[in-house]
Structure 1
Amino acid sequence: MAADRQRALHPHLGFRLALMAWSPSASAARPSERDFGATLGALPWGLVLLLVSVACIGTAALFSATYTNPQEAALPARHAVRFGMALVLLLVIGLVPIGVWLKAAWPAYFVTLAMLLGVELFGVSGGGAQRWLPLGPVNVQPSEFMKLALTLALARYYHNNLTNQSGRLFIHLPPLLMILVPAALIFKQPDFGTTLALFAAGGVLIYLAGLWYRVIAAVVIAALASAWPVYQFVLEPYQRERVDTFIAQLTGQAVNTLDDGYQIEQAKIAIGSGGMQGRGFMEGIQAQLDYIPEQHTDFILTVIAEEFGFLGATGLLMIWAVILVWGLIIAGRSVSVFGRFAAVGCVATVAFFILFNVAMVLGLVPVVGVPLPLVSYGGTVMFTTMACFGIIVSVHLGQKERLAAQGGI
């Protein structure tokens, strides 16, 4: 029965079958049976090296974007140091047996949820948002922890409850509640980007678990129907301005390029001026003259596109594509539902940031402050990203672990 539960996945998911085709037939030693040296040798070092390469590209782009500004000249070095720390975090998380993460999933979720409630009651404000919780001498951002905690909790829930009847709606109601509660708290901070990330990763896992297509269609219709009330009564004024600017640009209406539309217009100019091969490293006009606000964070891709052209920007995205597919292959090789769902959820979280950032830079979605993982300056998303890949590495090392269902839900 337990084995049947672990093998049960979305019955009409085509790419799931493609993933499982990668599953090796030969048995592998359990991590507990390996010595430490063998465990290190079993790490997916190719995946790690690809992550290092992305961080190196980000460091170089940051150097080009900031070296003319004395106030920002130290950012590339800080970015490199933070990545070194995040790389250690990845290895530490990855070397922890996957069964430990299964047991820790619910405590991690509820502790993080309590921290989000603490932000609501005792949070520290900054930049017009209340997202940080003071813990002694430091302020932490629980919404970042929730991205990973939610993935692990959903993976554990479906590990315990997934059956061949997974298409039944009632099975998916608790996961929906698990997503809605933290998403509402994070949206109120406000942090629209992280809210979307929770829905993206959580929605992928619910879909994987076998949610009927007609239910998905009903949810999409309900979301579209609620768009206007949300815009009118839920969004903050500055958020409505961003949506108005986005719609105006899509429909070809005139926008104030000195205000709301300035950032996107300058980003398009930078991307267009890069052409196919780019102007050359440290030769970007938009980057060197600081025409693009926040070019070292959310709009770092414009620096790469201007200096290395379409080929350079596409090359970076192709590296990310290989990394994400590698993560999906690891998910498909896991024999446990928890391993599969945890790895896919982590891939979905990182993929959301990449896709949304690219779409934002191109003007295809409103600007909501979503950075490009490992490339944009900022330690929060970097550590979240590397923690996600730490879980993926843990799934890789424990891919042959047949995890028993845990007590509770």
Structure 2
Amino acid sequence: MKRIVQWAIKALTAFDWPLLALLILMAVLGMTVMHSAVGGTDWRFADQLRNFLIAFACLWLAAMTPPPVLMRLAPYFYVIGVVLLLGVEFFGETSKGATRWLNLGVVRIQPSEMLKISVPLMLAWYFHRNQGRLRVLDFFVAGVLLVIPFSLIVLQPDLGTALLVFASGFCVIYFGGLSFKLLMPIAFLMVVGVGTLVYYEGQICQPGVDWVILHDYQKYRVCTLLDPSSDPLGKGFHTIQSMIAVGSGGVYGKGYMLGTQSHLDFIPERTTDFIFAVYAEEFGLYGGIMLLVLYALLILRGLAIAARAHTQFGRLLAGSMSMMFFVYVFVNVGMVTGILPVVGVPLPFMSYGGTALLTLGIACGILMSISRYRPVRQ
């Protein structure tokens, strides 16, 4: 009986209660919007509820795992993830023009999702081991560790997941001590590149122009972003309809389950990538601001956990997990509102899907584990 009580106390103290309160609130809001997006309680609503329960179980298990254990397992998770990505490259299953799945016989998995967690784990482990004696070579090695999985995911192709993996890994490298001065030339080149793209859009977006480094569908996504009206019934349909839905919500919104764009099937993928358009149409500007405030509180809580972490590994990992949420939200809202190309990034705790929820649940569990961890002083 005593052991049971001790285990129960340990299980309850594993949670970071401010973070848990935010997650519960977002889960309730997410299921509410999902109910409207599917028009009731059909199988998708039930599946999403099941996905939340599974994600919560994984969150709890991750929260119960001490950071030293995560640090010991980090290299193994990374190697397994890269091996599975190589398996996808040679033996993966193709669906809708992309090879992202690997059939292991008993289960069919998407290894790229695993790298959203294992890459920052590996890089945090690497910088923790080399803290106090970092050299330029160490940042180069860290860059190689990041580029390997990023390149394998781009080849699938899955630009959205690759972007999230790169962002989470880059945040570890930056928080690990990468000088901001080294980023200025890259930022300058990006600004020049975007400016050139906008200026010569009429010439480089012609059908016969090959962009070399991008697939044709990725090229069309960028060109559609620059001018959605160029293909209003094809590549630009998603962007145009989502922008109409967001704008038609106005300041106060049309009301719960009263969105015309979503319930008349004008919004494609309204339960997944474009669920923010459903939300904005029904709850308006004020509702959108409230949702963004919730995300901001979640990210700030994660950064606060990072600031109070007792180890370099914990600080880097918590900072990376927090910024991963920021990238999720920024990219999804950006593509729904037409300021970023459509890359298939879900909105955290709102979009339908079990894999993304599982990844987010584990990330939040890791934050809670770092928050509650107190190293034993000898």
For normalisation by structure 2, the TM-score amounts to 0.90
> Does the CA-based 8 Å contact 1:336-1:402 persist in structure 2?
no
Distance 1:66 1:366 in 2: 25
Q: Name the residue aligned to 2:81.
A: 112
Task: Confirm or deny that 1:143 pairs with 2:117.
Answer: no
> Does the CA-based 8 Å contact 2:92-2:103 persist in structure 1?
yes
**One-letter amino acid matched to 1:153:** M
Counterparts in 2 of 1:120 and 1:226: CA distance versus 1, 3 Å? farther
Tell me the CA shift for residue 285 of structure 1: 0.4
Distance 2:377 2:175 in 1: 19
Counterparts in 2 of 1:334 and 1:76: CA distance versus 1, 3 Å? same
- 1:317 aligns to what SS in structure 2? helix
Distance 1:360 1:401 in 2: 42
- 2:227 aligns to what SS in structure 1? helix
Q: Name the residue aligned to 2:151.
A: 184
Task: Confirm or deny that 1:271 pairs with 2:246.
Answer: yes
Task: Confirm or deny that 1:352 pairs with 2:352.
Answer: no
Distance 1:210 1:216 in 2: 12
Counterparts in 2 of 1:225 and 1:318: CA distance versus 1, 3 Å? closer
Counterparts in 2 of 1:170 and 1:272: CA distance versus 1, 3 Å? same
Moved more, 264-273 or 213-222: 213-222
**One-letter amino acid matched to 1:281:** Y
Cα RMSD of the aligned pairs, angstroms, is: 2.3
Give deviations 1:201-247, integer Å, cap 9, x for gaps.
Answer: 12211111121223212333556678889971021111111111112
Moved more, 334-343 or 228-237: 228-237
Distance 2:192 2:167 in 1: 19
Moved more, 93-102 or 224-233: 224-233
- Picking from 218, 222, 238, the partner of 1:239 is 218
Task: Confirm or deny that 1:62 pairs with 2:37.
Answer: no
| Matches for 1:279-290 after TM superposition, within 5 Å | 279-290=254-265
**One-letter amino acid matched to 1:47:** L
Identity of aligned residues (%): 36
Task: Confirm or deny that 1:392 pairs with 2:367.
Answer: yes
Q: Name the residue aligned to 2:179.
A: 212
Task: Confirm or deny that 1:174 pairs with 2:141.
Answer: yes
Give deviations 1:131-179, integer Å, cap 9, x for gaps.
Answer: 011112321011000110001101101101122x64x422201110011
| Matches for 1:237-386 after TM superposition, within 5 Å | 237-249=216-228, 254-386=229-361
Distance 2:210 2:297 in 1: 37
Distance 1:98 1:274 in 2: 44
How many aligned residue pairs are there?
Answer: 361
Q: Name the residue aligned to 1:14.
A: none
- 1:232 aligns to what SS in structure 2? coil
> Does the CA-based 8 Å contact 1:169-1:211 persist in structure 2?
no
> Does the CA-based 8 Å contact 1:270-1:305 persist in structure 2?
yes
Counterparts in 2 of 1:47 and 1:199: CA distance versus 1, 3 Å? same
**One-letter amino acid matched to 2:182:** V
| Matches for 1:396-407 after TM superposition, within 5 Å | 396-398=371-373, 400-401=374-375
- 2:102 aligns to what SS in structure 1? strand
Tell me the CA shift for residue 392 of structure 1: 0.7
**One-letter amino acid matched to 2:344:** G
Tell me the CA shift for residue 384 of structure 1: 0.5
Counterparts in 2 of 1:212 and 1:270: CA distance versus 1, 3 Å? same
Counterparts in 2 of 1:367 and 1:97: CA distance versus 1, 3 Å? same
Counterparts in 2 of 1:226 and 1:318: CA distance versus 1, 3 Å? closer
Distance 2:26 2:172 in 1: 26
Give deviations 1:343-370, integer Å, cap 9, x for gaps.
Answer: 1111122221111101111111101111
Unpaired runs of at least 5, structure 1: 1-33, 405-409
Task: Confirm or deny that 1:200 pairs with 2:179.
Answer: no
Distance 1:220 1:57 in 2: 37
> Does the CA-based 8 Å contact 1:105-1:156 persist in structure 2?
yes
Task: Confirm or deny that 1:156 pairs with 2:125.
Answer: yes
Q: Name the residue aligned to 2:201.
A: none
Q: Name the residue aligned to 1:13.
A: none
Tell me the CA shift for residue 256 of structure 1: 2.2
Distance 1:55 1:127 in 2: 30
Tell me the CA shift for residue 306 of structure 1: 0.7
Tell me the CA shift for residue 39 of structure 1: 2.8
Distance 1:134 1:256 in 2: 37
Give deviations 1:97-146, integer Å, cap 9, x for gaps.
Answer: 11100100000000111000000111111111100111123210110001
- 2:100 aligns to what SS in structure 1? strand
- Picking from 13, 18, 21, the partner of 1:49 is 21
Unpaired runs of at least 5, structure 2: 198-203
Counterparts in 2 of 1:319 and 1:285: CA distance versus 1, 3 Å? same
